Amino acid sequence: MTEELEQLLKNLKLRRMLSVYDGIARAEKAQASYSDFVAGLLRAQWRDRQESALEWRFAGESAERWSLETFPYARQPGVNRKQIRAFAELDFVASTRTWC
């Protein structure tokens, strides 16, 4: 990666693209087109932003960062751990497609 490209990714706050660039470049060098390569970088950045947004929403005002594994279910008796896990699997999405 060139210094200019690295600096641009830092300036644009594309931290995930910066961290996966070399790995994607090596993995796709022989067989991928430029558009496939760029799509791989953008896909990695998009996933990172989605995960960060979910973490932010999930944590709310709390100073703690929670995930599905670290959420304090014992302190939240109204939260059904099994139901939250089922929602996280997104199985309900496939069943709604058949209705449309």
Most confident of 7-11, 59-63, 87-91, 95-99: 7-11
For 58, other C-beta atoms within 10 Å of its C-beta total 14
Q: Which of 6, 38, 4, 13 is nearest to 24 (CA)?
A: 38
Indicate the pTM of the whole model: 0.48
Phi-psi region of 13 (alpha: psi -120 to 50; beta: other; left: phi over 0): left
Q: Looking only at Cα atoms, what is the longest distance across the chain? A: 53
User: Average model confidence (pLDDT) for the chain?
Assistant: 79
**C-alpha triplet 4, 47, 82: angle, nearest 5°:** 155
For residue 88, name the pLDDT band (cuts at 50, 70, 90).
Answer: confident
